[in-house]
């Protein structure tokens, strides 16, 4: 194989050519500021509204509940910080899970410094939230529950509907970080009692630097980024028109192809999982096998360390990761793998492969062969491995 | 992120393996990143390192520094080997990224640990050789804002 | 004239073709996440560093002091909110001007709700900060002075160097919102004692949705957007690689052409000002005539109202604004025009024309002719005008 | 942002001007947006509005609603004119954006003010006509989150 095999779709994806094409006119010709009075600018307001509609449709809601942001991280920060500021009169307690993305976890830590209290509910050995713990954690002062729709490292899908119902019954706001799940799984915000939902375009073949936060009508969330009157006065800053257009185009395509695409990914995923299981000893599949994103595979290979594995895969033309891309530079093992009970040294030897619709069976077979080879080579060097 | 030399030693590590009945063996780890390095020495009667092997569970830099460190001490006396610092290893590898400096410390410390083991077995002391830590992670600091 | 004459460059600008071209590969081919280990992603880390260098050069500083954001508004929010959080131990007082952009003013109001104290220093009738008032406002608890480099409505350039020196002498941090001034005026952050500086790409022919905050080394500013370890752990979120590339390309061009471009704009500006002054009665030039951005013209036409004027200009193919685009939808007259002492009804009749390098003398002459015509027509309808 | 009808009335406003010695004149404003509208009536002895003129300092919607409102009352009796609500004006203009609804209120109020002035001069009263406010801005609320 001479070409690159990209298996890190959970980190980011290529913008589709149709997406870029849709964006292009908004850079150089239709560049007007949507808040302007003249036609060249004001037209872009309409264009943004259309994009909002496309996205609202994908969630079973209406456009006025969609607010564009600069990405999933900003959406998560907004949902948490501005909500607890808005509802501080009601209480100061937040519930989240121990396996959230850092965009939620670090924001919670920031809020703890500001005097808010946070309970981090555990997950079971497959990464599924312990609902009994969640219920037990609820206090009269609880104002927000934030649990991710699906995990970015191990792909585990949470029982969102149940969580939404629990939150709803207790009159507590429910936010979900759906950055990994959006456009991979069907989502209906009303059915699941979701009050706020974060998403990011670059995870679904849209451009980087654009995301949205769904906010149910009636939620008294404050602004997080203060300034001009954009986004119904809730999110200031000149609108990223090309980004918004690109996002909605990506959503349009991703929604239309969801069924077919995820079926294909699922088949590849299962081929990958079963071959690795059969052909490589001392491995562990992390995350729930079936309650899992169709494109996610996460294995721990005992006795070897992740970075070495990744570099050798890269040399074989395979792009993969050990978990979240955003934590590279940190030496700590993944908090997600520790939370599902892996010991340190095994957490260090994990490999995340996330599929996209362009991956082929042939690629998967090549990848499995390479993994076998590399794992064997690295184990030969490992002081922990005695065969 | 790594220099060509690092990549070369990572891809084709020198001196991988074990030595049976070694004159000295040292194992050190870094609890923080979870990495572990073990170095085996075969030292002759003139206190010259006749052979050296290593096994490493660690990142690319850990593998490359193990490889380079073993190359640098091979054929040297134990006194010369003591002078092989992590700086020398990094220089020989054309540098390491800042977050990877600690990996080279692991190599330095593993050499010291193996020398210490040798000295204990021989009942000798080498001036300047202190009892090595088995976990080097305390030494590091993270850049903070 | 059949084509559109764009005279709203302070609201936003078209991305240059070279900028779009530079961005394109990063959407579809070089789309890797810069935090990844594999080459396809890690290379983008280097590319971002290069962009940071280009921008650092333009300010006379070094790349590690440049942090990318989603735009000027986020930069302003970050500079204010995270600084005062970081220095809350020292005091709780902020000084700013009464004519800041809403990105600063509304953030100050937000901070006031959180218990911080803000002094809004007045400006004189030309919009220049009253330095005596600034000095008098300083308290032992003052932790931050934030004054914009040049105003977005009336173009007035502030005595930034003097303000920087005052801040410096008192050991107070100095932030400047340079969204309008950056790449229009030469800026050296050391010479001016600037500790933080905000900029936005779309104001200088770069893409929308990308900006930066310069933070002097040593300033203990916290994160504003919490999450992954990007931007040296200070600004989380997957990097907007195409946006960053486009921004740096735009800066490269804007810096290279600054002298020539602003000289041309200056000549057009003066032609516009002098013709309007001579040919239209009851007008007032808002802002300092000479301490002013080379591309800014702001006139008040007595007895007429801004929106009507703008719509009629639009019908004549001329894109203009009455002030800040971000406040459209609000009925209040501009806080900037009120701050320089204009009465309500005159503040309502203001017109901002902001030039770009592609505007021509011919266009300017056409615009003046149209303004004369329209102003006359609207005055004929005005109950305030008795000729 | 505006309908075609609004743009038509904005570009070619009907009944712009003044009436000398009017039967009634009314001026109202909105302190918030700063806009001002003045309507002049020439009313004959049968209480029919023979002529109507306006002057407006205001936004596009203010001009268009002035124009449309004067069209709607022209040739009507003062009782019929009282029935011309801002809703009727907006409908006749194919609607206005939400932030511009207040501009049509300005037109309704200006008609009332001119009718009131006429009644005062004539010493009559019209049932349902209350003393108009000269500033309508208090009536509005802004959407709040
Ligand atoms: C679950 C989850 N939440 C949030 C984010 C942050 O999104 P972004 O990097 O686009 O800001 C990511 C990906 O990076 C993610 O996987
Ligand atoms: C002076 C000033 N500050 C801040 C901003 C906000 O920048 P952005 O809209 O790119 O976030 C603008 C322009 O909108 C501005 O003119
Ligand atoms: S990261 Fe620990 S040895 Fe390299
Ligand atoms: S905005 Fe006040 S009359 Fe239209």
Examine the domain organization and report whether A200 and A264 are in the same domain: no
Residues in B touching C232 (Cβ below 8 Å): 143, 145
Examine the domain organization and report whether A234 and A263 are in the same domain: no
pLDDT at A327: 53
The residue of chain A with its CA nearest to that of C30 is: A14
Examine the domain organization and report whether A308 and A268 are in the same domain: yes
Rounded CA separation C344/D22 (Å): 29
CA of C291 to the centre of ligand 1 (A): 45
Examine the domain organization and report whether C181 and C272 are in the same domain: no
pLDDT at D131: 85
Which sequence positions of C are flagged as catalytic? 326
Residue where a domain terminates, one of A238, A256, A274: A256
**Band (A349; pLDDT cuts 50, 70, 90):** confident
Examine the domain organization and report whether A234 and A292 are in the same domain: no
Rounded CA separation C199/C211 (Å): 5
Q: Kindly tell me the burial class for residue B128, based on how many C-beta atoms sit within 10 Å of its own C-beta (0-12, 13-18, 19 or more).
A: exposed
Cβ–Cβ gap C307/D57 under 8 Å? no
Question: Hey, which residues does C319 pair with through a beta bridge?
Answer: C6
Average pLDDT of A1-23?
94
SS (H, E, C) chain B: CCCHHHHHHHHCCCCECCCCCCCEEEEEEECCCCEEEEEEEEECCCCEEEEEEEEEECCHHHHHHHHHHHHHHCCCEHHHHHCCCHHHHHHHCCCCCHHHHHHHHHHHHHHHHHHHHHHHHHCCCCCCCCCCCCECHHHCCCCCC
Q: Is B61 in the pocket of ligand 3 (CB under 6 A)?
A: yes
pLDDT at C327: 53
Task: Please say if the pLDDT value at position A137 is more than 60.
Answer: yes
Residue C78 covered by a domain = yes
Residue C204 covered by a domain = yes
Asked if residue D121 lies in contact with residue D16, where contact means CB atoms within 8 angstroms, the answer is: no
pLDDT at D127: 87
A258-277: per-residue pLDDT in tens? 999 999 999 999 999 999 99
Cβ–Cβ gap B145/C232 under 8 Å? yes
Residue to mutate, B103, B105, B110, B140, ligand 3, most ligand atoms under 8 Å from C-beta: B103
Determine B/A contact with 3+ CB pairs under 8 A as the test: yes
Examine the domain organization and report whether A309 and A322 are in the same domain: yes
A363-385: per-residue pLDDT in tens? 999 999 999 999 999 999 999 88
Average pLDDT of C356-364?
97
A77-96: per-residue pLDDT in tens? 999 999 999 999 999 999 99
Q: What is the phi/psi pair of residue A324, to 5°?
A: -75, 135
CA angle (D36, D40, D44) in 5-degree steps = 160
CB pairs under 8 A between A and C: 270
Task: Please say if the pLDDT value at position D33 is more than 80.
Answer: no
Examine the domain organization and report whether A373 and A309 are in the same domain: yes
Q: If you search the block for the tokens 């509204």, which residue do you land on?
A: A49
Examine the domain organization and report whether A43 and A172 are in the same domain: yes
pLDDT at D31: 75
DSSP string, C209-246: T-EEEEE-TT-----SS-SSSTTTTTS-S---HHHHHH
Residue where a domain terminates, one of C253, C281, C302: C253
Q: Is C159 in the pocket of ligand 1 (CB under 6 A)?
A: no
Mean of all residue pLDDT scores within chain B: 90
Residue B88 covered by a domain = yes
- The DSSP symbol for A150 reads B
Cβ–Cβ gap A28/C15 under 8 Å? yes
Residue C386 covered by a domain = no
Pick from A39, A73, A110: which is nearest to C237 by CB?
A: A73
Examine the domain organization and report whether C317 and C240 are in the same domain: no
Residue B57 covered by a domain = yes
Examine the domain organization and report whether A65 and A135 are in the same domain: yes
CA angle (A372, A374, A377) in 5-degree steps = 110
Ligand 4, atom 3, lies closest to the CA of: D103
Residue D53 covered by a domain = yes
Residues in C touching B145 (Cβ below 8 Å): 220-222, 232-234
C170-214: per-residue pLDDT in tens? 999 999 999 999 999 999 999 999 999 999 999 999 999 999 999
Kindly state the tokens that stand for A338: 């520790």
Cβ–Cβ gap C234/B1 under 8 Å? no
Examine the domain organization and report whether C110 and C27 are in the same domain: yes
Q: What percent of chain A has pLDDT over 70?
A: 97
> Can you give the CATH number for the domain in which A179 is found?
3.40.640.10
pLDDT at B120: 94
**Which chain A residues have any C-beta within 8 angstroms of a chain D C-beta?**
37, 42, 45, 220-222, 232-234
> Can you give the CATH number for the domain in which C361 is found?
3.90.1150.10
pLDDT at B145: 36
Query: Could you tell me if D26 lies within 8 Å of chain C, comparing CB atoms?
Result: no
Residue where a domain terminates, one of A221, A240, A256: A256
When divided into structural domains, chain A yields a total of 2
Gyration radius of chain A over CA positions:
21
Alpha helices per DSSP H over chain C: 17-23, 25-28, 39-59, 72-77, 83-86, 102-113, 131-137, 160-169, 241-279, 306-315, 335-339, 344-347, 361-381
Asked if residue A262 lies in contact with residue A95, where contact means CB atoms within 8 angstroms, the answer is: no
Which residue, among C294, C297, C296, has the nearest Cα to C284 in the 3D structure?
A: C297
Q: What domain range includes position D49?
A: 4-122
Which residue, among A301, A322, A323, has the nearest Cα to A373 in the 3D structure?
A: A301
Residue D30 covered by a domain = yes
pLDDT at D67: 97
Residue C387 covered by a domain = no
Mean of all residue pLDDT scores within chain D: 90
B131-145: per-residue pLDDT in tens? 888 887 755 444 433
> Can you give the CATH number for the domain in which D68 is found?
3.90.1010.10
Residues in C touching A32 (Cβ below 8 Å): 8, 12, 319
Helices vs strands, H then E, count in chain D: 5, 3
Q: Kindly tell me the burial class for residue C136, based on how many C-beta atoms sit within 10 Å of its own C-beta (0-12, 13-18, 19 or more).
A: exposed
Cβ–Cβ gap B35/A347 under 8 Å? no
Q: Is C9 in the pocket of ligand 2 (CB under 6 A)?
A: no
Cβ–Cβ gap A383/B27 under 8 Å? yes
- The DSSP symbol for A139 reads -
When divided into structural domains, chain D yields a total of 1
**Which chain C residues have any C-beta within 8 angstroms of a chain B C-beta?**
37, 42, 45, 220-222, 232-234
Asked if residue A14 lies in contact with residue A204, where contact means CB atoms within 8 angstroms, the answer is: no
CA angle (D34, D38, D39) in 5-degree steps = 150
DSSP string, D34-79: TEEEEEEEEE-TTSBEEEEEEEEES-HHHHHHHHHHHHHHTT-BHH
pLDDT at B139: 53
> Which ligand is closest to the CA of B102, given by its number?
3
The ipTM of this complex is 0.93
Give residues 84 to 143 of D whose Cβ lies within 8 Å of A: 143
Q: What domain range includes position A179?
A: 17-256
pLDDT tens, per residue, chain B with 145 residues? 799 999 999 999 999 999 999 999 999 988 777 789 999 999 999 999 999 999 999 889 999 999 999 999 999 999 999 999 999 999 999 999 888 898 999 999 999 999 999 999 999 998 888 888 888 775 544 443 3
Mean of all residue pLDDT scores within chain A: 95
Examine the domain organization and report whether A243 and A270 are in the same domain: no
Residues in D touching C345 (Cβ below 8 Å): 34, 36, 57
């Amino acid at each position: 194989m001479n070409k690159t095999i990209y298996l890190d779709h959970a980190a980011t994806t290529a913008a589709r050519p149709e997406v870029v094409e849709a964006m292009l006119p908004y850079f150089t010709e239709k560049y007007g500021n949507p808040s302007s009075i003249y036609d060249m600018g004001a037209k872009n307001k309409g264009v943004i509204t259309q994009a909002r509609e496309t996205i609202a449709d994908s969630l079973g809601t209406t456009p006025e509940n969609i607010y564009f942001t600069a990405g999933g991280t900003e959406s998560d920060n907004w949902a948490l910080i501005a909500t607890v500021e808005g509802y501080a009169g009601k209480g100061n307690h937040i519930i989240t899970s121990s396996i959230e993305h850092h965009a939620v976890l670090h924001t919670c830590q920031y809020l703890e410094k500001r005097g808010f209290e946070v309970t981090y509910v555990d997950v079971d050995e497959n990464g599924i939230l312990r609902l009994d713990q969640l219920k037990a954690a609820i206090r009269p002062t609880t104002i927000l529950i934030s649990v991710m729709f699906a995990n970015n490292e191990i792909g585990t899908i949470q029982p969102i509907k149940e969580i939404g119902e629990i939150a709803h019954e207790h009159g507590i706001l429910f936010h979900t970080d759906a950055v990994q799940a959006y456009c991979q799984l069907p989502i209906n915000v009303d059915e699941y009692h979701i009050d706020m939902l974060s998403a990011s375009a670059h995870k679904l073949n849209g451009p980087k630097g654009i995301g949205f936060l769904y906010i149910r009508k009636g939620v008294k969330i404050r602004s997080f980024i203060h300034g001009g009157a954009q986004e119904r006065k809730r999110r200031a800053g000149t609108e990223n028109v090309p980004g918004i257009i690109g996002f909605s185009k990506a959503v349009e395509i991703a929604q239309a192809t969801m069924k077919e695409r995820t079926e294909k990914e699922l088949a590849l995923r299962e081929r990958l999982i079963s071959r690795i299981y059969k052909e490589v000893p001392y491995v562990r599949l992390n995350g729930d096998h079936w309650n899992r994103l169709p494109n996610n595979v996460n294995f721990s290979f005992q006795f070897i360390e992740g970075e070495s594995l990744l570099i050798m895969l890269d040399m074989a033309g395979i792009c993969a990761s050990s978990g979240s891309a955003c934590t590279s530079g940190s030496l700590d093992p993944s908090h997600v793998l520790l939370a599902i009970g892996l010991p340190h040294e095994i957490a260090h030897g994990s490999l995340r492969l996330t599929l996209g619709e362009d991956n082929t069976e042939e690629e998967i077979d090549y990848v499995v062969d390479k993994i076998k080879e590399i794992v064997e080579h690295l184990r030969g060097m490992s002081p922990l491995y005695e065969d | 992120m790594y220099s060509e030399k690092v990549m070369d030693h990572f891809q084709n590590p020198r001196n991988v393996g074990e030595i049976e009945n070694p004159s000295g063996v040292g194992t050190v780890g870094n609890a923080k990143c979870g990495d572990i390095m073990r170095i085996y020495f075969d030292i002759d009667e003139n206190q010259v390192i006749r052979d050296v092997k290593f096994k490493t569970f660690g990142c690319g830099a850990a593998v490359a520094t193990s490889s380079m460190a073993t190359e640098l001490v091979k054929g040297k006396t134990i006194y010369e080997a003591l002078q092989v610092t992590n700086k020398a290893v990094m220089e020989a590898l054309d540098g390491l990224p800042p977050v990877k400096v600690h990996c080279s410390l692991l190599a330095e410390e593993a050499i010291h640990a193996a020398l210490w083991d040798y000295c204990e077995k021989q009942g000798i002391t080498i001036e300047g050789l202190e009892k090595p830590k088995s976990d080097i992670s305390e030494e590091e600091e993270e850049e903070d804002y």
